[in-house]
Structures are given as C-alpha cells and as structure tokens.
Amino acid sequence: MNTLTYKGYTAKIEFDPDDNILFGNIVGIRDTVGFHGETVAELKDAFREAVDFYLESCEKSGRVPDKPFSGKFVIRVESSLHGEIVAAAVNAGKSVNKWVADTLATVVHAHS
C-alpha cells in the first residue's frame, strides 16, 4: 500500500485509471478527509493542504481534531503463541509490551 505522512497523519494513496488521477484519504480518524492530484507533486501538496485545512477547520469550530493513532491497539493470538511471546519477552529481559513494540518496529522498518 502506498502512503503519505504529514504532521502525524497518514493517508492511503490510490490511482483512478478512469480519471487518470492519484487520490488519497486520511486514515485513522473519524472525519473523512480526501484529496487528489494529477502528479505525485500535486498529490503531496494536496495532502499537506488537506491536513492543514482539517486542523484549521477544527480550530475555528472549537473542535479537537482527531489524533491519528492513540498508540494502543488490541491483538488476539492463539494461546500457544501468547505463551511463546511471553517467553521471548522474558528471555530478552523486557515486558511483553516493550518486546512486542520493539519486534513490530523492527519488522515495519525492515519493510519500509
């Protein structure tokens, strides 16, 4: 998946072959914020403008803008994997949360 990030907000980017444009939507917030451009440069500019407009609109209306991500999420795994995760964390001298966060960061950064 192609994404852009600006001021902590992430957008999913897609291509519309019928209209021959790139378009995107900010993910992880309740509001719908979209943008588009005919070139990558136009798309990036439109994304930054959309985020800035969203933040300005929230401020003018007295609303608190949605934060893109809270830093918390719940994951369900099989009990056997749960046990393996706990064992790996203990072996690494870390809490389960720290071990999972470090492991996920390693995987994400290896693939970006």
Beta-ladder partners of 16: 21
Mean pLDDT by 10 residues, the chain (112 residues): 90 96 94 96 98 97 88 90 95 94 93 76
In sequence order, what DSSP letters do the residues of 1-64 get, joined into one string? Answer: -EEEEETTEEEEEEEETTTTEEEEEEESSSS--EEEESSHHHHHHHHHHHHHHHHHHHHHHTPP
Q: What pTM does this model have? A: 0.68
* pLDDT score at 1: 62
* pLDDT score at 48: 98
* pLDDT score at 104: 94
* pLDDT score at 69: 76
